[in-house]
Amino acid sequence: MDLTELQEIAEAERQAQKSIRVHCCTSTGCQAANSLGVKKNLEGAVKAADLGDRVQVVGVGCMGFCGRGPLVEIDPQDKLYEEVTPDDAASIIESLNGGTATADEGDLNHPFFARQVRIVRETSGKIDPERIEEYIAAGGYQSLYKVIHDMTPAEVVDQISKSGLRGRGGGGYPTGLKWATMAKMPGEQKYVICNADEGDPGAFMDRSVLESDPHRVLEGMAIAGYAVGATQAFIYVRAEYPLAIDRLQKAIKQAKRLSLLGSQIFGSPFDFKVDIRIGAGAFVCGEETALIASVEGGRGLPRPRPPYPAQSGLWGCPTLINNVETFANIAVIIREGAEWYANIGTEKSKGTKVFALTGKIRNNGLIEVPMGITLREIVEEMGGGVPDGEVKAVQTGGPSGGCIPASLLDTTVDYDSLVTIGSMMGSGGMVVMDETTSMIEVAQFYMEFCRGETCGKCIPCRVGTVQMYQALTKILKGEATMRDIEQLEQLCGMVKDTSLCGLGQTAPNPVMSTLRYFRDEYLALLQDSPNGKVAVKS
């Protein structure tokens, strides 16, 4: 495979595409609502109307507006139909010849769509994720060719560093710095790992990317391998994502068939092999050292650092770990340039972030927004606010994040701002709550999750999460006193400061943030505080 052959595949695919493409979402969520039945009936309607010469029905990945799925989009007419049933299919095809569709028509100019800046999800919902030809026709693997033939590994690392990209898995560590550290490590064998162990409740960003555009992640991993000197990669994905796994397996086979993965990629000395490792769904395996232990075949337990994985990772070799969304940014950065990417976002948080917008909100689904947008813009403009009443809080960062009150909705969404107010970016979960929500119950829910997901290796996390859960339960039952609140706060600090890994270190965040912003709710339930008539601690 050389550049000419890649361009020939792209041109042949573009020529083969019909003038009208009917995109039908086939993501996990839409399949659950019978989108495959919709797609089958759409294909049948095209055949019955003898429109096969100009209309093409394409099964695509997530279009984003998950709460209104299954979705069907007509390209290039820019029409979107929502909550489509198989019975609507025939009328949608008839509408292409002037008929009227029975399905509800959506508004592609709605802020939910218009305010997005799509980089990671650039082609999601636009291409068939099971056909490499469609990805190539959209410019796929051009960046990989460019780095192999026109750039040195050091130049690639420099571009990623200048872009300002930070890890999208939650911690926000500078990606270029991580790559530079890895590239300097000696040793003939190095590894790249894609962390697709997405375990936050309500989060489905990585799953969507893998289901919608698996080649984008593979290309990013291959570029990373070239930059740091690695020849073997693993994608660690949880077993609860069968569709993502299936599409990844197909994508890897297709890329190997075209020599875009494997040996001597693009006729160069660069070899890069990718294998899949399926995890059992342990939340702690999102922590990189626990993930490494699981890939090696052991129990997913974290270990103290240093040494860091870049020094001694998988089987004792230097190992680069980034998550799905991080890798999905790489090819675009190489294609458009570091300066272009760095101009999006804020001074310290560059680019975009994908969020799963869920909870008590009108418009739920996946959004990709530039860093620096405010929570209010996301929740009220894009999300349409809560169906009834007012927004009470927004929880970001999943079990590791915090609950942000409505009074702070003008906070910008970036790594530093969210940490300042007691939350964090996390992998991208964003749960909206209204005035009927009990914030203590929210804290208890996340603590119950952490209690069940702790690996048990260190005592602060193993015992502390149980004790925090018990304390919250006691408060909810109205059996607690002010002394219990004080002990809960002390317990949060101890678990945060002494736990071995990120799970325990961040587990108290939902509790601490609710104590900080919704303390009245706690005090109202104390035995010695009937009706909440106790002075609120500052």
- Going edge to edge, which strands form the sheet with 55-60? 55-60, 20-25, 72-75, 79-82, 104-105
Q: Which residue has the tokens 């002075």?
A: 535
Question: Cα separations (Å) of 427 from 14, 91, 112, 128, 278?
Answer: 35, 40, 20, 25, 20
User: Would you call the peptide bond into 76 cis, given omega within 30 degrees of 0 as the criterion?
Assistant: yes
Residue with tokens 């570029």: 223
pLDDT of residue 281: 86
Is it true that the peptide bond before 70 is cis, omega within 30 degrees of 0?
yes
* C-alpha pair distances (Å), 308 with each of 172, 323, 350: 16, 16, 25
Contact predicate 237/230, CB 8 Å = no
Ordered alpha helix ranges (H), 203-241: 205-212, 214-228
Backbone region of residue 140 per phi and psi (left: phi > 0; alpha: psi in -120 to 50; beta: other values): beta
Q: Are 365 and 354 in contact (CB under 8 A)?
A: no
Helical axes 153-163 vs 324-336, angle rounded to 10°: 100
Report whether 36 contacts 84 (CB < 8 A): no
Angle, helix 153-163 to helix 214-228, in steps of 10 degrees? 120
Q: What is the mean pLDDT of each run of 10 residues along the chain (538 residues)?
A: 91 95 95 96 96 96 93 95 97 94 94 96 96 97 97 98 94 94 95 92 89 98 98 96 97 97 96 96 91 95 94 97 97 98 96 95 96 97 95 93 96 95 90 96 96 94 96 96 95 96 94 97 82 43
pLDDT of residue 2: 87
Tokens standing for residue 344: 């999006």
Classify residue 253 as exposed, middle or buried by CB count within 10 Å of its CB (0-12, 13-18, 19+).
Answer: exposed
CA pair distance 230, 318, nearest whole angstrom: 9
**Site of tokens 């418009």:** 363
Other CB atoms within a 10 A radius of the CB of residue 58 amount to: 21
Per-residue tokens: 256: 């190997």
- Note the pLDDT of residue 171: 81
Its pTM stands at 0.95
**Beta-bridge partners for 402:** 396
Q: Is 357 in contact with 395 (CB distance < 8 Å)?
A: no
Angle, in degrees to the nearest 10, between helices 324-336 and 214-228: 80
The pLDDT assigned to 202 comes to 77
In this structure, are strands 232-238 and 273-279 parallel, antiparallel, or unpaired? parallel
User: What is the dihedral sign for C-alpha 260, 239, 212, 341?
Assistant: negative
Q: What is the pLDDT of residue 528?
A: 65
Q: Which residues contact 111 (CB under 8 A, 6 or more apart)?
A: 381, 382
